[in-house]
Amino acid sequence: MRWNQIKYAGWGNVLTADTQVARPERHSALEELITDCDHILPIGSQRSYGDAAIATEGKGLKTERMDRLLDFDPDTGTLEVEAGIKLGEILRLFAPRGWKPAVVPGTGMTTVGGAIANDVHGKNHHIDGSFGQHVESLVLLTADGNARRISRKKEAGLFKATIGGVGQTGLITSAILKLHPCPSTTMSVSENRIANLSDFVDAFEASTAPYQVGWIDTLAKGGDLGRGILEEAEFSAQPAATIMNQKTKSIPMTPPGFAVSGPIVKIFNALYLRRVPVDGRTVDRPINEFFFPLDKISDWNRLYGKKGFYQFQCVLPMERAKDGLSDLLEIVSDGGIASPLAVLKKMGEGRAGYLSFPMEGYTLAIDLPNRAQTPAILSDLAEVTERHQGRIYLAKDGAISSDAIARMYPEIGKFREQVNKVDPGHKFISAMAKRLNLRGQS
Amino acid sequence: MNRTWIIVGATSSMARAFARKVAEDGCHVLLAGRDLADMKRTKKDCELRGAPSAYAVMFDARKPGTFDEICVKAAVQDGEINVAVFVGSMPEQSAIDTDPTLIDGTIQDSFTGPAQLLHRLAPLMEERGCGTVIGVGSVAGDRGRLSNYVYGSAKAGFHTYLAGLRNRLGRSGVHVVTVKPGFVDTAMTWGIEGMFLVAAPESVADDLLKAVKKKRNTIYTPWFWRYIMLIICHVPEFIFKKLKI
Ligand SMILES: Cc1cc2nc3c(=O)[nH]c(=O)nc-3n(C[C@H](O)[C@H](O)[C@H](O)COP(=O)(O)OP(=O)(O)OC[C@H]3O[C@@H](n4cnc5c(N)ncnc54)[C@H](O)[C@@H]3O)c2cc1C
């Protein structure tokens, strides 16, 4: 197996690595790859924004060519796959047959391995929980070169450390997923304008839709703070199998940073909000476009220019939601750097790993172009998050401190115990694990 | 009608991408290659993507005995039989310089092995009177050059064989497509310096299917390699022999 010296970045294009990366195509090559090197990190589609998938401490192993379907039971919707397969591909293949991944994040490029390692959530988190909750078992190739199948029944501690474990326990080679029924390949989507933050939270609380997501105009201030659009969706009654067009466009070159400068963002946000009529509307959308609206442009992250951007995402507990969200949005609207739309979602309790992100409450995600004042804004946001007993999402983070993370993730001790037991030599290590001292220095 | 694709060299990423597409299109798939354990995974993948049946069988270009099973399995499939050959091996030219006996294996893998297999399958295809053979050659076969002329000459031989086979099978309604890929993003090219304009295996697979549909004789993939090779082939030999490409 050949190693390729490559430079790559997290999705935000701020944190980078320049290291040797292997891209195995066959299962039989894996064991040797793992045992032959001192430090290594599994890499999925690099859709994590910060340094979760950045291998500065050793080599990298790209899983994208290990992406086969291994088994499927059409009676129960139980699907076994290699971990490099993308969730969008599973949706494309199975939605016409009446099944879908139980949970999908906002991009179909996410691999099954990456979805497990960040225990990702989707627009149905308030009902269906996190991705890891629908993983029946997985095969983990650990530092000693041995593969083991683990689940809630077998090595439950290691299983919980692996889900949300950002690649630190070993390489997930395959997983068995419980798919959910998918009665239609079309979603019926209701969109309504929301006047301000308080109305937004009330609207979420009143909604009974299985899929919900809110878009917030971060430029709004004062009484308009938190205005935006609430999208509520359910499967359309139309059973017709729409052909899912996966055609994507790409950005030919890295445009100058002004593509996301203040005035342009302002126009964009205003247009986006006004697209929905004052008294709302209900439209039908192909299922893949509903779940992965940004995938139409394959590399939209390059719109932020060479300096890249950060994404801040936190979750706040229910009782602090209104106050906390308003504090966060104020920091952003006063911060003087234009952020395009922010995403607001309601979360349920569902989580499957020690380092899983979700808690019952509200989660807010904001893109911040990388400018001189960005670090200060990020640190203010983190402080407010902590003050409101919230938590920051590792899949997005590239900036927070290790102390804060330890306080935000109360089960980090259990995670450390498992990970240090299975990999005492710290073979699996990322820039993030090092920066945040995820393993706890022994 | 029942359609079957025999995919030879099925562990390569190009072959895998191709197998998936024909499986999704509802074809039976017969995977032939050396790593049986790996092919069993691809076989399952093909079935779950829509192949009505899929098999994995051993194929070693250097062991003609392994061709028997492929021929037997092909004969019992009803309907249209198609073959796509993706095999070939390219040892470092420097390795060949130290051990010239490596030439034999390179030629067996890239030319004589697949040619023998195709020769054995030809009568069956003639009898069915339909179907397509895809032979994957290489732009390296268009002109001999310093860095890979043994591999290149084997592929050149294969190209000529395919042209002859096209001439023969065309009479019975069987079409032969010669494919000359440029650089494809496979395990073979991963980490090799000097790669440029590398194509994804999926887009190569799309090109192959298009060529089958349109009954093209020879295609370059991606298409612009036709022009790169046109230029390379037109450099006068007295200059070319001094170049290091
Ligand atoms: C446009 C966009 C929208 C998004 N929307 C959401 C959303 O709605 N909800 C949400 O939760 N997230 C969301 N995300 C984040 C994304 O889903 C996660 O970052 C996810 O982990 C990315 O998966 P990946 O395959 O790209 O993995 P990478 O980003 O490459 O890796 C992520 C982590 O997983 C580990 N890993 C990857 N594969 C394996 C493996 N086989 N074995 C062990 N460890 C492995 C890596 O080491 C790394 O720590 C979004 C991202 C983008 C770009």
For chain A, give every domain's residue range. 186-400
Report CB contact under 8 Å: B11, A28.
no
**Residue B185's domain is classified under what CATH number?**
3.40.50.720
Q: Report the DSSP pairing between strands A361-369 and A78-82.
A: unpaired
Q: Report how far apart the first and last C-alpha atoms of chain A are (Å, whole number).
A: 33
- Predicted pLDDT at A256: 67
Count: domains in chain B: 1
Concatenated DSSP letters for A342-362? EEEEEE-S---STT----SEE
Single out the residue of B14, B92, B103 nearest to residue B62, CA to CA.
Answer: B103
Strand partners, A16: A9
B241 touches chain A (CB under 8 A): no
Judging contacts by C-beta atoms under 8 Å, the chain B residues touching residue A298 are none
Distance CA B220, CA A56 (A): 39
Distance CA A89, CA B19 (A): 16
Whether B245 maps to a domain, the answer reads no
CA atoms within 13 A on the CB side of B170: 11
- pLDDT-derived band at B193 (thresholds 50, 70, 90) equals confident
- pLDDT-derived band at A297 (thresholds 50, 70, 90) equals confident
Q: What is the CA B119 to chain-centroid distance, rounded?
A: 15
Mean pLDDT of the A60-83 span: 98
Task: State chain A's mean pLDDT as an integer.
Answer: 93
- Predicted pLDDT at A14: 94
Judging contacts by C-beta atoms under 8 Å, the chain A residues touching residue B38 are 26-28
Strand partners, A138: A150, A175
Whether B168 maps to a domain, the answer reads yes
| ipTM for the whole complex | 0.92
Q: How many percent of chain B have pLDDT more than 90?
A: 81
Task: Report the residue of chain B nearest A64, measured CA to CA.
Answer: B13
- pLDDT-derived band at A238 (thresholds 50, 70, 90) equals confident
Q: Directed axis angle between helix B13-24 and helix B201-213, to 10°?
A: 50
- How many inter-chain contacts (A to B, CB under 8 Å) are there? 44
Judging contacts by C-beta atoms under 8 Å, the chain A residues touching residue B41 are 27, 68, 70, 82
Single out the residue of A231, A218, A222, A297 nearest to residue A265, CA to CA.
Answer: A218
Single out the residue of A347, A331, A141, A120 nearest to residue A221, CA to CA.
Answer: A331
Residue A441, class by beta-carbon neighbours within 10 Å (0-12 exposed, 13-18 middle, 19+ buried)? exposed
Whether B86 maps to a domain, the answer reads yes
Phi, psi of A78 (to 5 degrees): -90, 120
Q: How far is B108 from chain A (nearest CA, A)?
A: 23
Single out the residue of A122, A119, A93, A117 nearest to residue A106, CA to CA.
Answer: A122
Residue B174, class by beta-carbon neighbours within 10 Å (0-12 exposed, 13-18 middle, 19+ buried)? buried
Q: Which atom of ligand 1 is nearest to the CA of A393?
A: 11
Name, in order, each residue with C-beta under 8 angstroms of A265's C-beta and a sequence gap of 6 or more.
A219, A338, A339, A340
- Cross-chain CB nearest to A4 (options B11, B48, B191): B191
Report CB contact under 8 Å: A23, B187.
yes
- Predicted pLDDT at A441: 76
Please determine, for residue A201, whether its predicted confidence score (pLDDT) is greater than 90: yes
Distance CA A312, CA A125 (A): 19
- Cross-chain CB nearest to A69 (options B16, B35, B44): B44
- Predicted pLDDT at B194: 75
What contacts 24+ positions apart, CB below 8 Å, involve A40-43? A40/A427, A40/A428, A40/A429, A41/A167, A41/A428, A41/A429, A41/A430, A42/A113, A42/A117, A42/A167, A42/A171, A42/A172, A42/A428
Task: Report the residue of chain A nearest B191, measured CA to CA.
Answer: A4
Q: What is the CA A82 to chain-centroid distance, rounded?
A: 19
Q: How many percent of chain A have pLDDT more than 70?
A: 95
- Cross-chain CB nearest to A70 (options B11, B44, B190): B44
Task: State chain B's mean pLDDT as an integer.
Answer: 95
Whether B230 maps to a domain, the answer reads yes
- Predicted pLDDT at B139: 94
CATH of domain A186-400: 3.40.462.10
8 A C-beta contact, residue B5 and residue B31: no
Ligand 1 pocket mutation pick from A54, A118, A436 by most atoms within 8 angstroms of CB: A118
Domain that includes residue B129, residue range: 3-240
